[in-house]
């Protein structure tokens, strides 16, 4: 257990996982729970949005390629509701984050907002902690 996220007097960070692959969503949820986070997961982005509450989550782990609504459109919808929550995109795509930024017009995204699947447990937890600690 990573005591960094669950020490005395320290609130567990809430993370929302949205990935249409149920196996990935389950694995991510278990890994995050084992590392002291409090995750919820959805395989349906519309259902995730319907149940989303402003100010409830510290971070969203968001798959980019999903049926119905892709990760970028989900991001836009969430930003209308909650401007504070941090968002990290997950992708198995061969496209580099620069191409996503240029093609989709998301110039504000930095490389650390993108994680390539598959990702090791230690790298995932380290990337999440880094983003959660950033301003």
- In a domain, residue 77? The reply is yes
Q: Which domain holds residue 108?
A: 11-133
CATH number where 87 lies: 3.40.50.2300
- In a domain, residue 94? The reply is yes
pLDDT in tens, 65-104: 888 888 888 988 998 889 899 999 888 765 545 555 565 5
What is this structure's pTM? 0.82
- In a domain, residue 117? The reply is yes
- In a domain, residue 3? The reply is no
- In a domain, residue 2? The reply is no
Element (H, E) at 10: none
User: How many structural domains are present in the chain?
Assistant: 1
Residue 72 near residue 45 (C-beta atoms within 8 A)? no
- In a domain, residue 122? The reply is yes
């Amino acid at each position: 257990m990573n005591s960094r996220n669950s020490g005395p007097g320290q609130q567990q960070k809430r993370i929302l996982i949205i990935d249409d692959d149920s196996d990935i969503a389950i694995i991510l949820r278990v890994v995050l729970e084992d590392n002291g986070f409090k995750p919820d997961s959805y395989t349906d982005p519309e259902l995730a949005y319907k149940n989303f509450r402003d100010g409830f989550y510290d971070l969203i782990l968001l798959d980019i390629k999903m049926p119905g609504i892709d990760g970028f459109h989900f991001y836009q919808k969430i930003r209308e509701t909650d401007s504070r929550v941090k968002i990290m995109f997950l992708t198995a795509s061969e496209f580099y984050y620069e191409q996503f930024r240029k093609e989709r017009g998301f110039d504000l995204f930095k490389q650390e907002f993108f994680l390539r699947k598959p990702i090791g447990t230690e790298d995932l937890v380290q990337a999440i902690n880094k983003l959660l600690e950033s301003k």
